[in-house]
């Protein structure tokens, strides 16, 4: 009986090691550290109103990422806007598994969503209100989804998942719209275009992942329920630690 018990524990350990090795292998194609600088435009073909800096880090087991959007130029004079999103969680054989998503907006209390995978729910705290929603395998927040779609373990489209932000959790459909060459401040790049849409209109996201650059999200178009569009277009991609003197 003792031998059987020892053998079972060894098999369990081997299985855990194999799972960890697979997760590390799948994360290898995702650069361990980097950032993307975007120009932010209002509307399709609209004026540039700001700048966004998206940075990430992972060690093939855990990840952290953030995206800072700020108004610049005349737009900053009219409205000094600063919007910081953060996501952190684990890397598994299925890709990114968010644990916490937060939004820090100037002039407003910190808002956060906590992913409780054991209970199968996400809890959203907006400061003045709290809500919760069901959570299932593969669900993402609005910041992590761009990198999740680039993971080798990403599901074949179309598929449904819950997309979480600082206001709600909405069931959305992900569709692969095929290859597209996009003109960006960075230059012309071959990409794969994905759309993420919920029936209630709370989630309208288009993502263009750079085919020849680790499938990084080089263009992100977000439309809110009122029809307002923010279009983030990459002007620079930096892999590894930021260069000395580069803006943070």
Query: Above 50 in pLDDT, residue 247?
Result: no
Tell me the residue length of the chain. 248
In this prediction the pTM is: 0.84
Angstrom distances, CA of residue 62 to CA of 55, 76, 92, 209: 15, 35, 9, 22
pLDDT at 243: 53
pLDDT score, position 17: 37
What letter would DSSP give residue 245? T
Q: Which residues contact 134 (CB under 8 A, 6 or more apart)?
A: 120, 121, 162, 169
Question: CB of 165 within 8 A of CB of 113?
Answer: yes
Parallel, antiparallel, or unpaired for β 204-210 and 187-198?
A: antiparallel
Q: Is the pLDDT of residue 144 over 80?
A: yes
Buried b / exposed e across 137-175, counting CB within 10 Å, b at 16+?
ebbbbbbbbbbbbbbeebeeeeeebbbbbbebbbbbebe
Q: Which residue has the higher pLDDT, 127 or 135?
A: 135
User: Comparing C-alpha atoms, which of 222, 229, 91 is closest to residue 147?
Assistant: 91
Q: How confident is the model at residue 29 (pLDDT cuts 50, 70, 90)?
A: confident
pLDDT band for position 2 (cuts 50, 70, 90): very low
| Local confidence band at 97 (pLDDT 50, 70, 90 cut-offs) | very high
Mean pLDDT of 60-83: 90
Strands 140-141 and 187-198 come out as unpaired
pLDDT attached to residue 242: 59
């Amino acid at each position: 009986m003792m031998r059987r018990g020892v053998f079972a524990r060894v098999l369990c350990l081997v299985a855990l090691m194999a799972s960890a090795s697979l997760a590390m292998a799948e994360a290898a194609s995702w650069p361990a550290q980097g950032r993307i600088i975007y120009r932010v435009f209002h509307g399709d073909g609209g004026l540039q109103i700001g700048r966004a800096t998206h940075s990430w880090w992972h060690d093939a087991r855990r990840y952290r990422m953030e995206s800072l959007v700020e108004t610049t130029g005349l737009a900053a004079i009219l409205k000094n806007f600063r919007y910081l999103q953060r996501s952190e969680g684990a890397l598994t054989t299925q890709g990114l598994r968010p644990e916490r998503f937060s939004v820090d907006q100037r002039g407003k209390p910190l808002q956060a969503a906590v992913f409780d995978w054991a209970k199968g729910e996400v809890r959203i705290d907006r400061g003045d209100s709290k809500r919760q929603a069901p959570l299932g395998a593969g669900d993402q927040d609005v910041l992590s989804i761009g990198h999740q779609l680039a993971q080798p373990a990403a599901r074949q489209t179309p598929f449904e998942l819950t997309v979480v932000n600082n206001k709600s959790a909405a069931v959305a459909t992900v569709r692969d719209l095929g290859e597209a060459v996009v003109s960006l401040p960075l230059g012309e790049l071959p990409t794969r275009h994905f759309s993420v849409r919920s029936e209630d209109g709370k989630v309208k996201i288009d993502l263009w992942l750079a085919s020849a650059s680790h499938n990084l999200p080089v263009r992100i178009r977000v439309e809110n329920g009122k029809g307002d569009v923010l279009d983030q277009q990459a002007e620079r991609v930096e892999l590894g630690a930021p260069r000395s003197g580069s803006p943070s």
